[in-house]
Amino acid sequence: MPIEALCEAYSNDEDRAGNPAFDAVQQVLHITVEEIAASYLLGPPNILLAVMGISHAIISGSYALLVFFRGTFIPQDLDIYVPAQWMHILKAYIVERGWKENDDHKDAAYDMASVLDVLLFKHPQSNRTINVIISRTSSAIQPIVEFHSTLVMNYIASYGVVCLYPTLTLMGKGIIRVQTNKTCQGFDKYRQRGFDLQASTSAWADLPGHRCKVDYMCPATIRNLHDYGTVFIPFTQCSHRLEVHEDGLVWKNPIKCGGNEIVKDIGYTVSAMGEYCENLIHDLVLVLLMI
């Protein structure tokens, strides 16, 4: 899918109707939600989306990436993110659909500053798993910008799909922002699916000239949800923007740009409500506190 065509369709409202790139993503978006609802026994797609809207929940992980790479891989489970204050709504709906909460230990892959807890659900008629990741802030999106790489910084909301690093993601590329033993397993999974994960944009000769801390694809650039680096594809043509309550989300990745190795730096996420989540390495924090 040409990123230029998709971005052009997003930036010009008049060009949306009938634009092949834009229409193609909208169609796949609807199909993906239908498949999720059917595969995970979550009822009619419109009801699922309504519950997501009421609870401010979003779907992320492999299913959000699948919207842009349909048919290239099969997700292993479903990740739904929800703010703590709305978790009871989402949980009640999942349980009503026959899912049972499982006592398995929390996966270390969700060990992020803004994640409060993770609930696992199993269904007697399915071998699949639903992971409900509870955000400790007012936004379910805040954990998304703390993922292990930019490749998976995408999500499906009740109003559409959002890709935070589209230039790289739609080329099948991603910048690694956190490297641990657990995240390395995730890297292997996505590399086996054909994606290219690197420590810096300098690893790719086919990218345009890089302006550090300026270009939206640069991991060191301070970003927000409504800058021109984000691509948002709504479910319907009448939905023109992201929801207002998300306007204040700002983030900076905890890595420096350049080189072939990950060099850690100060990073943070700040929600629309001003809730700050540290995303720092401890020795840097201690140094800053001593200054």
Mean per-residue pLDDT pooled into runs of 10, the chain (291 residues): 52 54 82 95 96 96 92 92 96 97 72 89 92 92 90 93 91 84 75 90 80 86 88 72 64 75 64 57 36 35
Query: What confidence score (pLDDT) does residue 287 get?
Result: 33
Query: What confidence score (pLDDT) does residue 241 get?
Result: 56
Query: What confidence score (pLDDT) does residue 54 get?
Result: 95
Query: What confidence score (pLDDT) does residue 274 get?
Result: 58
CA gap 156, 162 in Å, rounded: 6
Q: List C-alpha distances in Å: 210 to 68, 196, 221.
A: 24, 18, 11
Query: What confidence score (pLDDT) does residue 218 get?
Result: 87
Would you tell me how many other CB atoms lie within 10 Å of the CB of residue 288? 10
Query: What confidence score (pLDDT) does residue 247 get?
Result: 60
Query: What confidence score (pLDDT) does residue 264 get?
Result: 60
Strand order in the sheet with 126-135: 100-102, 115-123, 126-135, 78-83, 58-60, 154-157, 160-163, 231-234
Residue in 249, 250, 248, 285 with CA at minimum distance from that of residue 266: 285
pTM of the model: 0.85
Helix (H) or strand (E) holding 277: strand 276-278
Query: What confidence score (pLDDT) does residue 249 get?
Result: 82
Query: What confidence score (pLDDT) does residue 132 get?
Result: 97
CA gap 178, 108 in Å, rounded: 13
